[in-house]
Structure 1
């Protein structure tokens, strides 16, 4: 069972970066208190793809809600791993 002190890592793959990126950013901003660190890259050969990795600390229920919001976006896939 996860408690508030547990760390986790989330990866967010964005296939339609130009369409989905603003909404992804909005969701991450809304959950900024969970985010310890964030790293985003895009493949220069693939204009519309991006990958964001996020280090998190927070309640599993909040992280699940954020994952649900992100997974509901077109072209966005989320993976999560508890550390």
Structure 2
């Protein structure tokens, strides 16, 4: 079990992709220790169409690689895994 994995997920069109991204994250919910969602709010009271998720994963390498692959298969979504373990 490796809890030193961070995944950054960029969502280009939250309106189009959010439901599918949430479905994939729910499938892998037991592997996600921390989830932080960020979006650009350059105009107060509005939401940017794009966003960034930062995930701390606590799982084996196959699980994190599978999550990264599934997220990258979605249109308008780019995921990148960083493994900080020894």
What displacement does 1:72 show?
Answer: 0.5
The alignment yields a C-alpha RMSD, in angstroms, of: 1.2
What is the TM-score when the length of structure 1 is the normalising length? Answer: 0.89
- Check if 1:31 corresponds to 2:31: no
In the alignment, structure 2 segments of 5+ residues that lack a partner are none
The higher radius of gyration belongs to 2
Q: CA deviation at 1:7?
A: 1.8
- 1:24 is displaced (CA, Å) by 0.5
Supply the distance in 1 between the matched residues of 2:28 and 2:14 (Cα, whole angstroms). Answer: 20
1:59-74 matches, cutoff 5 A? 59-74=60-75
| Over 6 Å off, 4+ runs | none
Distance in 2, matches of 1:5 and 1:20, equals 28
The 3-state SS of whatever aligns with 2:2 is coil
TM-score (norm 2): 0.86
